[in-house]
């Protein structure tokens, strides 16, 4: 478990360095999508893996993907929200991103106890992958085709 968590942390460092190299809004958007899809694929691979080296590689990818996604998402929300609404929007965003985690953990725990942990992890990865596909197809409808004002 220690190795799995450590390699995910190493992946997060690599993801943060990758994110720091992005300077344009277009690069941030691409990083958001790459991070989302990388983490989804990593979670699915981790869920089906029966090999420790493959699980380590999946955790590395998950760490890099989640760091890219979370930081890009946070940055883009702040860039696209008007100054007078930024505090309210960020507090709502943080409530959704952090405050809902315990509820999601209960749902995943319930799923894991009834379906098994491997299936629960794979289902979670597939839900993230589906969310990424929805995001990819709806970018223009949410104003992501324009530069922030």
Per-residue pLDDT at 78: 83
State residue 106's pLDDT score.
94
This prediction's pTM? 0.84
Domain coordinates of the chain in residue numbers? 2-142
In this prediction, residue 45 carries a pLDDT of: 97
Q: What is the pLDDT along the chain (149 residues), one digit of tens a residue?
A: 999 999 999 999 998 988 887 666 667 778 888 899 999 999 999 999 999 999 999 999 999 999 999 888 888 888 888 889 988 998 888 888 888 889 989 999 999 999 999 999 999 999 999 999 998 888 765 555 555 54
pLDDT value at position 33? 87
Report d(CA 63, CA 78) in Å as an integer: 23
Q: How far apart are CA 103 and CA 123, in angstroms?
A: 16
Local structure of 3: helix, strand or coil: helix
Report pLDDT for 1.
92
Is 3.40.190.10 the CATH classification of the domain at 2-142?
Answer: no
Residue identified by tokens 């691409």 is 30
Contact call for residues 40 and 89 (beta carbons, < 8 A): no
Cβ atoms of 45 and 98 within 8 Å: the answer is no
């Amino acid at each position: 478990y220690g190795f799995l968590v450590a390699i995910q942390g190493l992946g997060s460092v690599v993801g943060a360095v990758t994110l720091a190299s992005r300077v344009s809004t277009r690069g941030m958007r691409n990083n958001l999508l790459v991070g989302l899809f990388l983490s989804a694929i990593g979670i699915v691979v981790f869920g089906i893996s029966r090999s420790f080296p493959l699980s380590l590689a999946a955790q590395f990818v998950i760490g890099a993907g989640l760091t890219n996604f979370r930081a890009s998402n946070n940055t883009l929300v702040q860039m696209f929200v008007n100054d007078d609404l930024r505090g309210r929007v960020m507090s709502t965003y943080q409530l959704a991103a952090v405050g809902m985690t315990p509820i999601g953990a209960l749902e995943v725990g319930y799923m894991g106890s009834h379906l098994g942990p491997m299936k629960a992890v794979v289902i979670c990865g597939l839900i993230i992958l589906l969310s990424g596909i929805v995001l990819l197809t709806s970018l223009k409808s949410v104003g992501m085709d324009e530069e922030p004002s």
